[in-house]
Structure formats: C-alpha cells, structure tokens
C-alpha cells in the first residue's frame, strides 16, 4: 500500500513540473480541463521603495495563461491531498515582538492605497476610500495583532497582503452585495464566531485581531500541511506566494466552497495576482527587520597581549640567530 505522504509528494512534483515548464498538456492530463477560460492578466507595478527580490517568482510572465492555470492545479493538489504533519519552516524567523516606527512607515510606503479625502459619505465605505493617515492607523492595528500572535514572517506577509486586498486598509469598508465588513471583510456568519456585535466589525483593532486569528487557523489546518512537504523542492519566494494565494482563496470562498479547494475562482486568482508585488514588499521588509546582525568576535585583551608578546619573542629569536650566524 502506498504511503499518503509519498503519493502526495508525487502529485506535488508533477504539478511543479507543469508550473515551471508551462506545459499545457501536462496541466490538462492532471486536471482534465482546458485553460482557454483564463482571465485577462491585470497590469502589475512594483511598489514604491521595494528592491528586486526574486521578482520572477512573484510577477506575471508572457505565458501567464498557462502558468496561472498550472498554479490552480498546484493549489488544488495541495488543498485536496491528505494532510501530513507540518510545522513552520525550520529556522524561519517569527514576526517581531515589537515593531519600530521605521518598519511601520516602510509597510505604509509599500502597501498604501492612493486616495484623497472622500467628499461624499458613501465613499468612506468603499475599498481604500480613506486618506493615508487612516490607512496607517488600520495597518498599525494589524501589526499590533501580529506582534501578539507572532506567526512566521512568510505567513505574516500573506496576512498583511490579504488585508490590503480585502479592504484597501479601510476599516469602514463594507461590501454592498454581501454582509462583508471591516479590514478583513468578514461576512456575518464568520464574524459571529469571533464577536457577537456586528458593529464592532468596523473597529480596526477588533477586526484585525480576529483576522489574524482566523487566517492563522486556516494556515495551520489547511495550508501549512500541504506546503511543508514541498520545502526541499521549492524556493522561498514560491512558498510565500502559494501561502498567500491559498489563504486568500480559503478566506474569500470559505472552507466548504469547492472553489476554495481548487485554489479559488479565476476572478479571485486575478485579484490575488494583483497583490503579489505588495506581498513581495511586506516580506522583504520583514526579512530585513528580522535579519540577525553579523558580529565580529573580538579576542579578549589578554589574548591579544599574549599574541603580541609571542610575535615579539619570535622576532627577537630570529634576530639573535642571524647575528650569531654572521
């Protein structure tokens, strides 16, 4: 009898082959579908102040139709395969316990939505419909929740990117076509499991705490167990992007929806793709903020004196030997 772990690894490696080569035949054999219905790629632009960091793993390519379809296949395999025991990536830093104002300003610079002061009342409830000052306050609420939970930085970057995709950092945002509200756009049924007051959904601190907890639970139960086996055969950039894509699909559609187990609908995947540059920016900032500084180990003063004395004695011995020889 084949091991579920081995079977899962086999399927994942085959999906990776389809993703990296862009082979349509491989993708069709695995899914039985055609990629002709792919959505039009949204134009992407790197965020301000972000240096290049494995950009090819995040940005779209001319073969985006086939590549995005292959990404659907990978997400479907990872979400539908049997779960295995998974932990955070070995050695991956955690979100800092304290965040400096400099780091917060970097987050704002990368993730802000360009918006002017809304002139009409309804504009305050739209995506990103608040000034940058309000966005910075909302971002601080999410950062504060992350400092308490302290997830791995790859998951933290995905959570920050999802908050931007969902509300544009507008804590008053509400969906006119549903009951979704607040920073993480909780629908009423999901929000009820975190708070009994629908009005508190618009409190950025309460919504941020619930959003971080909700997405960390989805990661631990649905996403992490599928990504962990791929650690030896994937790059860091690929794992961060897949974590973000799968989390967003689960959060948007709900765990029970068929689309969630397939990596999200085409529309959801297109929206997630537009947020990849911001994901890259958040992760780059966190990598820099959690990097361990390299310190030069200085020899004790006594050891230095001994070494200097030994060198002086050796020089004297050479000098004496030469004088005797002459």
Q: How far is CA 285 from CA 21, 60, 118, 138, in A?
A: 30, 22, 30, 18
Helices 153-167 + 132-149 axis angle, to 10:
150
Name the one residue in this structure whose structure tokens are 């990117």: 161
**Predicted confidence (pLDDT) per residue in 221-279, tens digit:** 999 999 989 888 999 999 999 999 999 999 999 999 999 888 899 999 999 999 999 99
**pLDDT bracket for residue 288 (50, 70, 90):** very high
- Give the confidence band of 320 by pLDDT, cuts at 50, 70, 90: confident
* Residue bearing the bigger pLDDT, 212 or 50: 212
| Spatial distance between the Cα atoms of 1 and 6, rounded to a whole number of angstroms | 11
| Higher-confidence position of 148 and 13 | 148
Q: What pLDDT, on the 0 to 100 scale, is given for residue 276? A: 97
For the chain, domain boundaries:
4-290, 300-326
Closest CA to 22 of 55, 54, 60: 60
d(CA 70, CA 260): 16
Instruction: Examine the pLDDT at 77 and tell me if it is beyond 80.
Output: no
Nearest to 168 by CA among 144, 136, 192, 199: 136
Residues in a beta bridge with 9: none
What per-residue confidence (pLDDT) applies to 70? 52
* Residue 292 binned pLDDT confidence (cut-offs 50, 70, 90): confident
Residue 326 burial (CB count, 10 A):
5
Tokens matching residue 302: 């006594």
Phi, psi of 11 (to 5 degrees): -65, -40
| Contact assessment for residue 11 and residue 230, using Cβ atoms and an 8 Å cutoff | no
Task: Give the mean model confidence (pLDDT) for residues 57-85.
Answer: 46
Q: What is the pLDDT of residue 122?
A: 66
Query: What's the confidence (pLDDT) of residue 179?
Result: 93
pLDDT, tens digit (0-9, with 9 covering 90-100), for 36-57: 333 333 333 334 334 333 344 4
**DSSP state string for 65-105:** HHHHHHHHHHHHHHHHSPP----SPTTPPBPPSS--HHHHH
Q: Calculate the dihedral angle through the C-alpha atoms of 154, 157, 163, 168, rounding to the nearest 10 degrees.
A: -150
> What long-range pairs does 285-294 form, CB within 8 A, spacing at least 24?
285/103, 285/106, 285/107, 285/110, 286/93, 286/95, 286/153, 286/156, 286/157, 287/93, 287/153, 289/96, 289/99, 289/100, 289/103, 290/93, 290/94, 290/95, 290/96, 290/153
Cβ neighbours of residue 78 closer than 8 Å, sequence gap 6 or more: 12, 223, 226, 227, 230, 242, 246
| Residue 228: count of CB within 10 angstroms of its CB | 18
Determine the pLDDT at residue 33. Answer: 41
Q: How many residues in total does the chain contain? A: 326
What does the pLDDT read at residue 114? 85
Contact predicate 167/142, CB 8 Å: no
Q: CA-to-CA distance for 251 and 325, rounded, in angstroms? A: 87
pLDDT of residue 297: 57
Q: What is the pTM of this model?
A: 0.69
Give the pLDDT score at 244: 97
For the chain, percent of residues with pLDDT exceeding 70: 67
State in Å, rounded, how far the first CA of the chain is from the last one.
86
Q: pLDDT tens digits for 82-137?
A: 443 334 445 799 999 999 999 999 999 999 998 655 556 666 678 888 889 999 99
């Amino acid at each position: 009898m084949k091991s579920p772990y081995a079977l899962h690894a086999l399927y994942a490696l085959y999906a990776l082959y389809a993703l990296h080569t862009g082979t349509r035949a491989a993708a069709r054999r695995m899914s039985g579908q055609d990629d002709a219905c792919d959505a039009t790629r949204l134009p992407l632009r790197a965020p301000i102040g972000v240096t290049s960091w494995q950009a090819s793993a995040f940005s779209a390519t001319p073969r985006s139709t086939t590549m995005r379809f292959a990404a659907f296949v990978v997400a479907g395999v990872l979400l539908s395969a049997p779960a295995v025991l998974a932990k955070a990536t070995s050695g991956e830093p955690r979100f800092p316990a304290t965040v400096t104002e400099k780091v917060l300003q970097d987050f704002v610079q990368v993730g802000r939505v360009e918006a002017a002061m809304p002139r009409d009342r309804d504009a305050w409830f739209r995506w990103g419909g608040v000034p940058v000052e309000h966005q910075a306050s909302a971002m601080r609420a999410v950062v504060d929740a992350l400092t308490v939970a302290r997830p791995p930085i790859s998951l933290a970057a995905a959570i920050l990117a999802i908050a931007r995709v969902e509300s544009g950092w507008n804590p008053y945002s509400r969906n006119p076509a549903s009951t979704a509200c607040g920073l993480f756009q909780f629908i009423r049924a999901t929000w009820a499991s975190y708070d009994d007051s629908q009005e508190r959904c618009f409190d950025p601190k309460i919504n941020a705490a619930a959003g971080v907890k909700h997405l960390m639970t989805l990661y631990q139960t649905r996403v992490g167990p599928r990504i962990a086996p791929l650690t030896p055969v994937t790059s860091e950039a690929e794992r961060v992007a897949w974590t973000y894509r799968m989390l967003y699909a689960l959060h948007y559609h709900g765990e029970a929806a068929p689309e969630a187990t397939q990596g999200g609908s085409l529309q959801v995947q297109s929206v997630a793709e537009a947020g990849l540059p911001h994901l890259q920016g958040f992760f780059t900032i966190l990598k820099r903020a959690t990097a361990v500084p390299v310190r030069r180990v200085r020899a004790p003063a006594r050891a230095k004196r001994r070494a200097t004395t030994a060198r002086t004695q050796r020089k004297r011995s050479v000098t004496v030997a030469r004088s005797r020889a002459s």
